[in-house]
Chains A and B, each alone.
Chain A
Amino acid sequence: MKQQQFIEQQRPLWDSFRQLADELEKPPRRRAAVELERLPELYRRLCADYALVRHRHYSTGLVDELHDLVQRGHRLLYQRKSLWLWRMVAFLWSGFPNTLRCHARAFWLATFLFYGPALAMGLACYLDPDFIYTILDPFEVASMEFMYDPANPMPGRSEDRASATDFAMFGYYIWNNIGIGFRTFASGMLAGVGTVLLLLFNGVVIGGVAGHLTQLGFSATFWTFVAGHSAFELTAICISGAAGLLLGKAIIAPGRRTRGEALKWAALEAVTLVLGAALLLLGAAFIEAFWSSNGAVAPAVKYAVSAVMWTVLILYLGFAGRGRDAA
């Protein structure tokens, strides 16, 4: 069949597909009523025409025109419109804890990389009052000592932030802490090295500070301050670390897949963990800003709340969504 005959015969089909695509590409609010159910049929017939046009070596202009139409159809037909609210609930209830349990080894490794140096450095700083200066400079130590000095009216806030309100600190914790979580994950792309270094570094600093302040006798302010949000914050950092380690593993030891494929699979699992960790950090920021800084609450209450938080978190991560397929 000559090209012109073919065009004359099939043009009405292409035009009706084009009209449908024009409407469907508009935002739903401005869309006229369309026969949505015709899309798959029109699209498949269009695909057949496109294949014919290429096979018969018709002109490039015609091939290009149909190529673009097929491309639009492909995007329209295979797009995903998700019920985001439902997906969010499913993610929290089963997707996140299930994925974490699937990668329990990465999580425990990250936990070890974080708490190991934290314990060692904490002990060293507790026993030797000057050991803290091996990791922090005198200004940082002074600022930190000021933050948790029992004489400080706003425990947990440095001198220049002493007047900040709870809400301002809430914003600061979101920006800073969730950012740290994201970076811990992303640096796993450097064959896992970045994640390992960040976990070790954070462990050393947090452990060192805790040991030093305990040795100074600031326990009452320091431990009551961090008790509230510790469960969410520390666990979230370990989960971000686990996500970064998954990326690193895909690069170093991809197993039976190519590196590219292994990386894509690992990234999909990892991003679930990172998102969950970000939500935990959001919770931690809320607690840290509005509860931890509240000096009026008795230490015993703070410790009790902290114990409840840890229990709830462990039960959630350990048991939520068991018996369901990972979402």
Chain B
Amino acid sequence: MLQLDTVHTFETPEGVDLGLRVAGPVPRALAFVLDTLIRYTVLFVLSMILLPMAELGVGAFLIMLFLMEWFYPVFFEVTRGATPGKKAMGLTVVHDNGTPVSWAASLIRNLLRVVDFFPLFYGIGLLSMLINRRFQRLGDLAAGTLVVYTEAARRNDAVIEAEARALPVPLAVEEQRALLDFAERSTTLAPGRVEELAEIITDEHGPAAVQAVLGYARWLERGR
């Protein structure tokens, strides 16, 4: 993983490094807008049902208003990992050690939202996110939480369709890896681009170049 990427790595108790892709201000702002819409829609519907029910309804509505204002994110983050808005944007809230967020941490980050919102529309929160390498707003800093992308489980089923060829020259480990990566990703690139890339390292041209490079990759992968 490159330094360039916004990946937060941490070591698990098993001694392996895992990486989390932290989410920046834009997807989080969009998630917030979605959540706000959901919240106000629910409150609007509730007000239509409860407010005509005289005084009992008014009391119930005010209690719902309180719960929606403070506990809507806490409830969804703890039970589902993210609020509906964040889920729609493909985001999850986790501790900075990658474990699912706890009640206490979720409560901290959401109570402190008031300060991040200050002075106007997440002024302080945005400032904090831009200064911080992991895009944490103040609430995240205090709670030790991160908002990360929920990655769809990737599965590596690519089969290299070429006849194995022995490498004409010995290659360093990183170079071998570049060949394997090329073979895996060649199916997702445009054919013209694949040929262009393959021609860089062989004397052949067009589809023959691609077959040659894929052949080297297959040889590296299987040895035959």
Contact = CB atoms under 8 A, between A and B. Distances in A.
Interface of A: 2-5, 18, 43-44, 47, 50-51, 54, 57-62, 64-65, 67-72, 74-75, 78-80, 82, 164-165, 167-172, 174-175, 178-179, 182-183, 185-187, 189-190, 194, 247, 260, 263-264, 266-268, 270-272, 274-275
A249 to B, nearest CB: 13
A253 to B, nearest CB: 16
Contacts of A187: 114-115
Given A2-B222, A164-B58, A175-B63, A64 B180 contact: no
A174 B181 contact: no
Given A75-B99, A185-B111, A268-B104, 4 more contacts: A68-B151, A169-B59, A182-B70, A271-B104
Given A69-B153, A267-B142, A168 B112 contact: no
Contacts of B174: 57
Given A65-B155, A69-B153, A79-B99, A50 B115 contact: no
B3 interface: no
7 contacts: A3-B220, A57-B174, A74-B99, A165-B56, A165-B59, A169-B59, A271-B107
Given A61-B181, A75-B100, A179-B66, A171 B156 contact: no
Contacts, number: 169
**Most A CB atoms within 10 A — which of B19, B56, B58, B173?**
B58
Contact of B62 (A62, A172, A267, A271): A172
B156 A64 contact: yes
B16 A50 contact: yes
A179 B69 contact: yes
B62 A175 contact: yes
A61 B184 contact: yes
Interface in B53-68: 54-56, 58-63, 65-66
Given A186-B112, A271-B111, A78 B143 contact: no
Contacts of B97: 78
Given A51-B15, A189-B138, A170 B59 contact: yes
Contacts of B84: none
Given A61-B184, A264-B142, A268-B104, A2 B223 contact: yes
Per DSSP, are chain B's interface residues mostly helix, strand or loop, or mixed? helix
Q: Chain B interface residue count: which class?
A: 35 or more
B18 A67 contact: yes
Contacts of A62: 156
Contacts of B100: 75, 79-80
Contact of A271 (B60, B61, B108, B220): B108
Given A68-B151, A75-B98, A174 B66 contact: yes
A232 to B, nearest CB: 17
A78 B63 contact: no
Interface in B117-167: 118, 138, 141-144, 151, 153-156, 158
B107 A275 contact: yes
Contacts of B183: 59
A72 B151 CA distance: 10
A167 B99 contact: no
Contact of B61 (A5, A64, A75, A171): A171
A68 B148 CA distance: 14
B108 A268 contact: yes
A72 to B, nearest CB: 7
Contacts of B196: none
A59 B180 contact: yes
B55 A59 contact: no
Contact of B177 (A44, A57, A172, A186): A57
Contacts of B55: 164-165, 167-168
A182 B115 contact: no
A44 B12 CA distance: 11
Contact of B65 (A47, A169, A175, A189): A175
A182 B153 contact: no
A190 B58 contact: no
Nearest to B92: A75
Contacts of A54: 16-17
Given A70-B12, A187-B114, A59 B143 contact: no
B102 interface: yes
Contacts of A71: 18, 98, 151
Nearest to A278: B70
Contacts of B222: 2-5
Interface in B84-115: 94, 97-100, 102-104, 107-108, 111-115
Contact of B141 (A5, A58, A260): A260
A179 B63 CA distance: 11
Nearest to A266: B142
A316 to B, nearest CB: 22
B14 interface: yes
Given A75-B99, A165-B56, A264 B153 contact: no
A175 B66 contact: yes
A47 B99 contact: no
